[in-house]
Amino acid sequence: MGRNKLIIYEANNPSLCCAACGPFRSFFLTKGQRQVSFSAPPTALIIWSAAAEDEASALSQAFNVRYPEIRVNVIRAGSGELLTRLNVEQPRPQGDILLGIAKEAFDGNYDLFRPYRSVNHNVIPDAVKDKSNPPRYYGSTMPLQAFIVNTGLLPPDQYPQTWRDLADPKFRRKIILANPAISGSAYAQIYMIWKLYGDSVLRAVAENAVFAASSTAVPGSVARGEYEIGVTGESNIADHILRGDPVTYVYPRDGTGARYDATGIINNGPNPGAAELFMDFMTTREAYSILHDTHSRRVVIPELPGPGPLPALGDITLIDYDAEEAANIRDDLVARFSDWIR
């Protein structure tokens, strides 16, 4: 894991008051049935971000246009590192927002996040927000997994169409996957195969594939013609298509898991009022458009199209992704899969 990067955006004019609510907006924290008021206008916000650096930068700057009096600090690291820090710093963590981690990671650390109902709550589909009322997180992007295929190496009639096809012996050593022991997205891929077809097909895939140490290496290896097929997040495929690389996408006909990344307010963070304003911002079309445009990501609101050259959500077969089960069996499934790798 690389060194954390601290990106600081200074308020453009600290004398300005809260743009949305006048100079003395009152904010409230709910503790059970009791509300705690804090009337001082917010002046600082600390975001812990697992999103890409340019995404976090664009979101922070857009938020500062709305609230120039709030000084925003962004600390970027991997989701695992941020969650470790969140647990270590209890009961007084030094972050306000956790941005862009998997929904299942929120569920696994549920009590560390504060319930908050965004002003945009009703426009966010129920399937992509915490089901508690008020929610502890709202979905942002959907990292759908798909096949990336090198069009110069494989004719269309030979493209894999299902997860089961990855077990076909004709693809032996022609498929590259990331190592699920160190990649969350790669683990999601093998969990979906196991859920659909069980150990026998998953074992055949393990024996067929070559494994990369990093998930980011997979799409590049296919784009360069080193492998015919890879499995990766769809935004990576869109990026390579837009660069003109000889690749295309295939969404498995047997379905890809309806997973999503989310953002939530850290419980007991130092700037709760600013955190609420940021959650309201993160559930606006403006914020979703930034996520959609910066890295060709699929966002959770239906008003925006599929990213770049990729199809609309309605054209993709989705399957339920049981995040709780996936988390509970992860160690055992990864251990078995690792034993099958040749």
Q: Residue 297: is its pLDDT beyond 80?
A: yes
- Would you list the domain boundaries of the chain? 5-141+260-294, 145-257+311-340
If we measure between CA atoms, which residue out of 202, 190, 209, 175 comes closest to residue 331? 190
CB 178 within 8 A of CB 211: yes
For the chain, what percent of residues have pLDDT higher than 70? 89
| CA–CA separation, 187 and 210 (whole Å) | 15
Q: What is the pLDDT of residues 203-243, one digit of tens each?
A: 999 999 999 988 889 999 999 999 999 999 998 999 999 99
Distances in Å between the Cα of 85 and the Cα atoms of 7, 55, 82, 209 are 18, 22, 5, 34
The pLDDT assigned to 3 comes to 36
Tokens representing residue 326 in the block: 């996936």
**Does the model's pTM come out above 0.75?**
no
* Residue 38 binned pLDDT confidence (cut-offs 50, 70, 90): low
**pLDDT at residue 4 in the model:** 38
Q: Give the total residue count for the chain.
A: 342
User: Cβ distance 78 to 86 under 8 Å?
Assistant: no
Mean pLDDT of the chain: 87
Categorize the per-residue pLDDT at 6 as very low, low, confident or very high, splitting at 50, 70 and 90: very low
pLDDT digits (tens, 9 = 90+) for 247-262: 999 999 999 998 899 9
Per mean pLDDT, which range of 91-95, 193-197, 289-293 is the poorest? 289-293
- The yes-or-no verdict on residue 169 having pLDDT over 90 is yes
Q: Give one word for 173, left, alpha or beta, with left for phi > 0 and alpha for psi -120 to 50.
A: left
What dotted CATH number matches 145-257+311-340? 3.40.190.10
Tell me the CATH number of domain 5-141+260-294, given options 1.10.3720.10, 3.40.50.620, 3.40.190.10, 3.30.70.141.
3.40.190.10
